Amino acid sequence: MTTTDTPAQWTAARVDELRLATRAFIREEVIPRELAPGAYIDEELRALLQAKAREAGVFAPQVARAFGGLGLPIEHWSTVFQEAGYSPLGPLALNCMAPDEGNMHMLAEIATPQQQEAYLRPLAAGDTRSCFGMSEPHPGAGSDPSALRTTAVRDGDGWRISGEKRFSSGAIGAGFAIVMAMTVEAGSSAATMFLVPMDAPGVRVGDALHTMDRAIIGGHPHVHFDDVRVPGDAVLGAVGQGFRYAQVRLGPARLTHCMRWLGLARRAHDIALDRAAARELFGSRIDALGIAQGLLADSVIDIETSDAIIARTAALLATDSRAGTALSSVAKVHCSEAIVRIVDRSMQLVGGDGVSEHLPLASFFAEVRPFRIYDGANETQRWAIARRAAKARAREREAGEPARDELRRWEGGDA
Ligand SMILES: Cc1cc2nc3c(=O)[nH]c(=O)nc-3n(C[C@H](O)[C@H](O)[C@H](O)COP(=O)(O)OP(=O)(O)OC[C@H]3O[C@@H](n4cnc5c(N)ncnc54)[C@H](O)[C@@H]3O)c2cc1C
């Protein structure tokens, strides 16, 4: 594994210095370059913003120093990612935007040294972009990954991949894809991840899927793999371990979405606070009217609880990745819903401007709403959370935890 620094190498003062540098960079260089509502980001803007981020010393904070990053350990990502997320363009500028950030993490954890040189190094430097191909058209993989239909079959010392992906964020203009495919070995099938250059013969970017969000470069198109031949060393990690690696990627990846989007929710809340302080209605400032205060207070509560669950999950991911990945489901559900509520309340508090193009709030809403669907739809997460809770309690009972009086009564025992 290619590690970042240890937490001890990052004193509180040093983290705060990076936070403040990111904050200043976002306000001075990024927010003034934000796009008009509905516009898409292009490669020219990406290159400019990333060059500015390098100059400002805030580029690739989460990447190991060996690959040109700042080496920030995961426990401190939220502080910096929230500052970056204050603008929808900030994470792209810092090269900590999805899907590249999640792919960098997985390459650092799983790829061979040769694969890291070929794929992680240029990705971390911003010299290329990537996409992640898991979701497929019906009846293929979506919420249920076991429906995976893309296949990879052995061909001499390599593989041939066939299938169709959709919602492959960033695919237009990406240099490579990490593709999940079913492989059959010794009669049993399992999922395997492959590193596939986007210019390999048989790779074709298909129709764009126009979703409501815009802060993604390269869209969310379909990608076709028409009998694509890749060499044996295109396998990422081990054959048959794809679903396990997906969890390696998804635990931190869904948490970093919480971090970035919480930064954007803070911006929406600041806009609402500023307006509520500036406008008088019925002889009083909006922020002195009780019902409006209730909206503002609820947003503060959503911000603080989201911040707390992110910090707890990041700390756990650093020490116990299995438990951290489990908690990241809880964080994802809580934050994705809290963030939508914060942006929605902020739109409400500024009145008609909230849903107009005079303010960016409606476009912020369009950025954060899809997060309740991707990285595991919230219903899938709740299902998984409940199953884990039931299993954990069953283990406690099996380990001799005494049945509670209420349960004994219900079972017909002595009261
Ligand atoms: C903006 C965006 C970006 C994306 N980027 C990527 C990407 O880069 N790579 C990639 O591979 N995929 C990506 N996706 C796809 C995303 O991961 C899927 O949309 C998601 O997994 C849901 O799959 P689906 O759309 O096929 O919905 P379905 O699987 O058809 O699910 C539909 C609905 O069923 C309900 N449901 C699901 N599970 C349960 C359950 N256990 N109990 C009850 N109800 C349930 C939920 O309400 C869910 O929304 C992206 C999606 C979006 C919107």
Q: Is the CB of 377 under 6 A from ligand 1?
A: yes
pLDDT digits (tens, 9 = 90+) for 25-38: 999 999 999 999 88
Chain-centre distance for alpha carbon 81: 11
Mean per-residue pLDDT, 200-221: 93
Judged against a pLDDT cut of 80, whether residue 1 lies above it is answered with no
Mean per-residue pLDDT, 318-322: 93
**For 5, what's the count of Cα atoms within 13 Å in the CB-facing half-sphere?**
17
Q: Is the CB of 171 under 6 A from ligand 1?
A: no
The rounded Å distance from CA 259 to ligand 1 centre is 20
**Residue 59, both tokens:** 């580029």
Question: Could you give the residue range(s) of every CATH 1.10.540.10 domain in the chain?
Answer: 7-124
CB atoms within 10 A of CB 241: 17
- State residue 335's pLDDT score: 98
What is the percentage of the chain residues whose pLDDT exceeds 90? 88
Q: 77 with 101: CB under 8 angstroms?
A: no
Q: Is the CB of 192 under 6 A from ligand 1?
A: no
Q: Is the CB of 371 under 6 A from ligand 1?
A: no
Measure the CA–CA gap between 228 and 230, rounded to whole angstroms: 6
Of all protein residues, whose CA lies closest to atom 44 belonging to ligand 1? 379
Q: What does the DSSP assignment read for 253-316?
A: HHHHHHHHHHHHHHHHHHHHHHHHHH-EETTEEGGGSHHHHHHHHHHHHHHHHHHHHHHHHHHH
Collect all residues with Cβ–Cβ distance below 8 Å to 22 and sequence separation of at least 6.
58, 61, 80, 83, 84, 90, 94
Could you please state the CATH topology (level 3) that the domain comprising 7-124 is classified under. Butyryl-Coa Dehydrogenase, subunit A; domain 1 (1.10.540)
pLDDT bin (cut points 50, 70, 90) of residue 316 is very high
Q: Is the CB of 43 under 6 A from ligand 1?
A: no
Q: Is the CB of 169 under 6 A from ligand 1?
A: yes
Pairing of the two strands 176-185 and 151-155: parallel
- State residue 413's pLDDT score: 60
Question: Could you give the residue range(s) of every CATH 1.20.140.10 domain in the chain?
Answer: 243-376
The rounded Å distance from CA 25 to ligand 1 centre is 34
Question: Could you give the residue range(s) of every CATH 2.40.110.10 domain in the chain?
Answer: 130-240
Pairing of the two strands 188-197 and 151-155: unpaired
Measure the CA–CA gap between 127 and 121, rounded to whole angstroms: 9
- State residue 246's pLDDT score: 92
- State residue 324's pLDDT score: 95
Q: Is the CB of 133 under 6 A from ligand 1?
A: yes
Could you please state the CATH topology (level 3) that the domain comprising 130-240 is classified under. Butyryl-CoA Dehydrogenase, subunit A; domain 2 (2.40.110)
Judged against a pLDDT cut of 80, whether residue 96 lies above it is answered with yes
pLDDT bin (cut points 50, 70, 90) of residue 403 is low
For the domain covering 243-376, report its CATH number: 1.20.140.10
Of all protein residues, whose CA lies closest to atom 9 belonging to ligand 1? 168
